[in-house]
Amino acid sequence: MALPLPSQAEEKSFAGKSQSSLDPHYSDNKADLRLKLDVKREISLSPYVDGDFIHVTVRDGVVTLRGSVEDQSAANAAIENAKEAGAKKVISHLTTEEKK
């Protein structure tokens, strides 16, 4: 099945717009990109967090974490990892999979 191609009007509406203006969670700021890598590294090195299910976005030094973690202590560890990496602020949308 072929995907539809954008019309000329649609192409013009995106002309001159950066990815960051189209997606509020995307940043092409080098400092944000560096911070994102640093946060991912901190989380991946943490013995308390399985970072495979954590998505990291950064905008103007503010880190947003999304995804699922094993329990609240893992969520807290991921937030702390982001702060240690240099985040100005951390917004957590992490969910836990605690067994009851």
Give per-residue pLDDT as tens, 10-23: 555 445 544 445 55
In the chain, what's the furthest Cα-to-Cα distance? Answer: 54
Q: Is residue 35 part of a domain?
A: yes
Asked if residue 12 is part of any domain, the answer here is: no
Does 44 score more than 50 pLDDT? yes
Domain membership of residue 13 (yes or no) is no
Q: Quote the pTM value.
A: 0.71
Range of the domain at 57: 23-96
Compute the distance between CA of residue 25 and CA of residue 65 in angstroms, rounded to an integer: 11
Digit-coded pLDDT (tens) for 53-95:
999 999 999 999 999 999 999 999 999 999 999 999 999 999 9
**Structural domain contains residue 2:** no
Give the type of residue at 4.
P
Residue 87 maps to which CATH number?
A: 3.30.1340
Say if 16 falls within a structural domain: no
In a domain, 46, yes or no: yes
47's CB contacts (< 8 A; 6+ apart) are none
Instruction: Kindly state whether residue 53 falls inside one of the protein's structural domains.
Output: yes
Asked if 77 contacts 48 with a C-beta cutoff of 8 angstroms, the reply is: yes
**Is position 11 within any domain?**
no
DSSP 7: P
Place of tokens 């299910």: 53
